[in-house]
Amino acid sequence: MQYGYFDDTHREYVITQPDTPLPWINYLGNQGYFGLISNTAGGYSFYRDARLRRLTRYRYNNAPLDSSGRYLYLRDDDANVFWSPTWQPTRRDLQDYSCRHGLGYTIIASTCHNIHAATRYFVPQNQNLEIWQLTLTNQRDTPAHLSVFSSIEFCLWDANDDATNFQRNYNIGQVEIEDGVIYHKTEYRERRNHFAYFACSEPLAGFDTQREAFLGAYRGWDNPLVVARGESANSVALGWQPIGSHHVPVTLAPHASRQLIFLLGYHENPIDAKFDPPDSQTLNKRTVQPILAIYLRREHVDAAFEALRAYWDRLLNTLQVETPDPHTNRMVNIWNAYQCMVTFNLSRSASFFESGIGRGMGFRDSNQDLLGFLHMVPERARERILDIAATQLESGGAYHQYQPLTKRGNDGVGSNFNDDPLWLILAVATYLKETGDWRILAAQVPYDNRVGSETPLYEHLQRAFRHTLDRLGPHGLPLIGRADWNDCLNLNCFSDTPGESFQTTTNQEGTVAESVMIAGLFVAAAKEMAAIAERYEGSTGAGGPCCEAANQMEATVLEHGWDGAWFLRAYDAFGHKVGSHECAEGKIFVEPQGWCVMAGIGIADGRAARALESVHEHLATPHGIVLLQPAFSRYYLHLGEISSYPAGYKENAGIFCHTNPWIMIAEALLGHGDRAHDYYLRINPSAREAQSEVHRCEPYVYAQMIAGRDAPTHGEAKNSWLTGTAAWNYVAITQWILGIRPTFDGLQIAPVIPPGWRGFSAARVFRGVTYRIHVERKGNGNAVSLVVDGQPIQGNVVPLASAGKSQVVVKVIQGK
Ligand code: BGC
Ligand code: NOJ
């Protein structure tokens, strides 16, 4: 069953029924100001940091009810009835309804009582404000006398404190109202120099800023007193719950239309110009008034919207493909790339599954996110790499996360995840291949943001590399530390205290438990390091030792990390095997199969192929590849959080979608295009659209998890949007299945597509040059021959284009 459809021409998903299984959301904003918006206008906004600069309130654990949002109420003043044009919060029946989620904007339209209302929500480029552009049309043959009421509920900035510290917070709310603009200025009198504003383009009949005055005591957002009676209370909040609401009377002749603009924004004043006059306590509004004057005018708003569209077109045009499969095309060309950008912006901070309070930017997560977006915004990727590296510790290790507002590392969700540093190497290698910007390696970057500790970025990479070698366990495999990529495989935690965090508790010295997954990751990273070192330092540099370390680790994995039919997962704190046929539960895990094969381990002797067969046999389901089998049926003290989840959920044998593309890539490496693409389609959201009642999350973006075969809700997705799944699926399909792969020396074209495909074409911007690629299958197999601008070339790497060239045509014949 579907709840909408894809409009690929407009790059939109159109939801045609408001009561989707879960709120289906979208994001507004690209740089500083962000909003989450659901298909019924639920959600909230913040400036940079979802915890510390939250503009509006949201109550998460109401989902799917999803109430708190950017709500407008329409009232027919003749008939004394009112409704929400976005369905929520009144949930009155609508004659028609649609929600168009587009790239950086959402348009929610409906008709009720023959009044059509369409609201376009978006954030203009480089502005700290959001626009709600409401167009009302009277479809009646008689005049309509309407009232429009806007509403938002302000958050008192720190979202965590706002939700908990009521003894203080019920006393601090403050607002000002001037010329119909509502200014939210809680704590401005003291240490803040920022405020929020809520403005409207039209003359007002009234306003409200105190929640109880607007809703009425014991009434909810579905039935506000002010809307019911058709008249604002003109309340001025002091303490309690500051809100913003405007009342705009609108008369529409038969079949006439009118447009209203609402602005919600964030603004900072210079510390020495907070008040106007300076010795007063009155907010200085002069600095924000010019912005209001611009964006309350329709022509500027329309131009800002066009600029937003152009921005997304430019980003997405970096890679466009046309394959025989519509789900591949749609995800690569539109939604997967878009999700990668959103994930880049927000890491794991704010979604309907991440509260914006708990998690900052993950070190491991942000490095992997880079893989999916750096071709679209290489200059921002450069900045991100330097930010991440500046949180690295002098030991080469890493804080597990950092806060976007301060860019400083913290151990709020633990530290000593021994895989963390290695992801920096992969991210920088990918950046170098994409951009050729070798100068980044010389950039001076501090450790732990400490002034005076700077070294070149190159040294950061070497310390990351050595960090693993300095921490080897009894078998010569990398020690796992708190955990590796799998945060929940906590082999040194041993927690038996309720409520204790698995992510921060350590009850055992971590000198025995080892990770085969880190070993695979290390071999892959070491090979990248060797390639970088050879090019950067020449043959006498670190390249040789890196190769040796890779070979040594590979040998160790083959000796101690092979279980007979698949790669072992780990050794626990007692030196016992994890992920082995010897285990009662958790006999086979997906991560080491992916990473060891991606690192090239066991390809020569057939073990890689055997491991992938085992994945197919034991882990693959129609809904994707589960993380492990058999699921843990009880809590194992020595394994930690992984066994805390009911079977089939999350890390305990859920389909943890992030890991699936590792297997797709591994299959592609072995030349199995059919299997790689089959796995790709199993979790591709568009391909799952037809079973939305099972999948339940948005059909246009990946979710972190789909319930595994042990769960009663097998196939149900959770944790959509902010997941490394986005970047890795993008890499798997574009670089390994379609095979368009940046290398240090040029653009490699090595497709491993399903045998049934006749070919495909693609346009890829690489180092400023557009490559027009046409692949035609002429026979079986994956061998290719390339003709570049009419000239046959040796091998499958298109050499870098000569200066001044803007286009290169590549004809590829595949198969013999
Ligand atoms: C989740 C993991 C997550 C970790 C850190 C765990 O509860 O299952 O997926 O990475 O928390 O926040
Ligand atoms: C989600 C986390 O953000 C990511 O860092 C981790 O690798 C996975 N969960 C698996 O535990």
Tell me the pLDDT tens digit for each residue of 581-625: 999 999 999 999 999 999 999 999 999 999 999 999 999 999 999
- With vertex at residue 166, the alpha carbon angle to CA 162 and CA 172, rounded to the nearest 5 degrees, is 75
Q: Rounded to whole angstroms, how far apart are CA atoms 618 and 498?
A: 33
* Residue of 68, 43, 45 whose CA lies nearest to 55: 45
Q: Rounded to whole angstroms, how far apart are CA atoms 683 and 676?
A: 12
Q: Rounded to whole angstroms, how far apart are CA atoms 801 and 806?
A: 8
Centre a 10 Å sphere on the Cβ of residue 599 and count the other Cβ atoms it contains.
25
Nearest ligand 2 atom to the CA of 359 is: 3
Q: Which tens digit of pLDDT belongs to each residue from 86-131? A: 999 999 999 999 999 999 999 999 999 999 999 999 999 999 999 9
- Among protein residues, the one with the nearest Cα to ligand 2's atom 10 is 486
Radius of gyration of the chain (CA): 28
Estimate to the nearest angstrom the gap between the alpha carbon of 399 and the chain centroid: 20
What average pLDDT does this structure show over 686-698? 98
What average pLDDT does this structure show over 390-416? 88
Among the options 487, 563, 572, 710, which is catalytic?
Answer: 487
Q: Are 597 and 612 in contact (CB under 8 A)?
A: yes
Quick check: CB of 488 below 6 Å from ligand 2?
A: yes
133 has pLDDT over 80: yes
Question: Token pair of 182, please?
Answer: 């509502």
- Classify residue 700 by its DSSP letter: T
Quick check: CB of 365 below 6 Å from ligand 2?
A: yes
CA of 348 to the centre of ligand 2 (A): 10
CA of 486 to the centre of ligand 1 (A): 8
CA of 598 to the centre of ligand 1 (A): 24
Q: Which tens digit of pLDDT belongs to each residue from 668-680? A: 999 999 999 999 9
What pLDDT score was predicted for residue 124? Answer: 98
The DSSP annotation for 491-539 comes to TTT---STT--TTT---S--SS-EEHHHHHHHHHHHHHHHHHHHHHH-T
CA of 415 to the centre of ligand 1 (A): 13
- Site to substitute for ligand 2 among 367, 426, 485, 720, most atoms within 8 A of C-beta: 485
Quick check: CB of 487 below 6 Å from ligand 2?
A: yes
Quick check: CB of 553 below 6 Å from ligand 2?
A: no
- Among protein residues, the one with the nearest Cα to ligand 1's atom 2 is 487
What average pLDDT does this structure show over 430-451? 98
Q: Which ligand neighbours the alpha carbon of 723 most closely?
A: 2
Q: In the beta sheet, which residues pair with residue 137?
A: 116, 257
Q: Which tens digit of pLDDT belongs to each residue from 557-584? A: 999 999 999 999 999 999 999 999 999 9
CA of 484 to the centre of ligand 2 (A): 9
Q: What is the largest CA-CA distance in the chain?
A: 86
Q: What are phi and psi of 751, to 5 degrees?
A: -70, 140
Q: Which tens digit of pLDDT belongs to each residue from 700-710? A: 999 999 999 99
What average pLDDT does this structure show over 527-540? 96
Quick check: CB of 627 below 6 Å from ligand 1?
A: no
Q: Are 259 and 300 in contact (CB under 8 A)?
A: no
67 has pLDDT over 90: no
Which of the four pLDDT bands, split at 50, 70 and 90, describes residue 203?
very high
Q: How far is CA 692 from CA 22, 65, 677, 695, 701, in A?
A: 10, 18, 21, 5, 12
Amino acid at 746: G
Q: Which ligand neighbours the alpha carbon of 656 most closely?
A: 2
Cβ within 8 Å of residue 500, ≥6 positions away: none
Which of the four pLDDT bands, split at 50, 70 and 90, describes residue 390?
very high
CA of 504 to the centre of ligand 2 (A): 15
- Site to substitute for ligand 2 among 365, 366, 418, most atoms within 8 A of C-beta: 365
Q: Is the bond preceding 277 in cis, omega lying within 30 degrees of 0?
A: yes
Question: Token pair of 278, please?
Answer: 């300076």
Phi-psi region of 625 (alpha: psi -120 to 50; beta: other; left: phi over 0): beta
What pLDDT score was predicted for residue 412? Answer: 78
Quick check: CB of 641 below 6 Å from ligand 2?
A: no
- Site to substitute for ligand 1 among 488, 489, 628, 651, most atoms within 8 A of C-beta: 488
220 has pLDDT over 90: yes
Instruction: Please say if 8 is a catalytic residue.
Output: no
Quick check: CB of 127 below 6 Å from ligand 2?
A: no
Centre a 10 Å sphere on the Cβ of residue 158 and count the other Cβ atoms it contains.
18
What average pLDDT does this structure show over 477-487? 97
Task: Please write down the long-range contacts of 282-287, taking CB distance under 8 Å and 24 or more positions apart.
Answer: 282/176, 283/176, 283/183, 283/185, 283/188, 283/195, 285/178, 285/181, 285/183
pTM of the shown model: 0.97
Side-chain-side CA neighbours of 125 within 13 Å: the count stands at: 12
242 has pLDDT over 90: yes
Element housing 27 (H / E): strand 25-28
Window from 299-303, 509-513, 567-571, 637-641 with minimum mean pLDDT = 509-513
- Among protein residues, the one with the nearest Cα to ligand 1's atom 11 is 487
359 has pLDDT over 80: no
What pLDDT score was predicted for residue 360? Answer: 78
- Among protein residues, the one with the nearest Cα to ligand 2's atom 3 is 365
What pLDDT score was predicted for residue 60? Answer: 87
Cβ-count burial 688-709 (b if 16+ within 10 Å, e if not): bbeebebbbbbbbbbbbbbbbb
What average pLDDT does this structure show over 232-253? 98
Amino acid at 196: A
What pLDDT score was predicted for residue 410? Answer: 83
CA of 572 to the centre of ligand 2 (A): 20
CA of 488 to the centre of ligand 2 (A): 8
Quick check: CB of 375 below 6 Å from ligand 2?
A: no
Q: Rounded to whole angstroms, how far apart are CA atoms 814 and 735?
A: 16
413 has pLDDT over 80: no
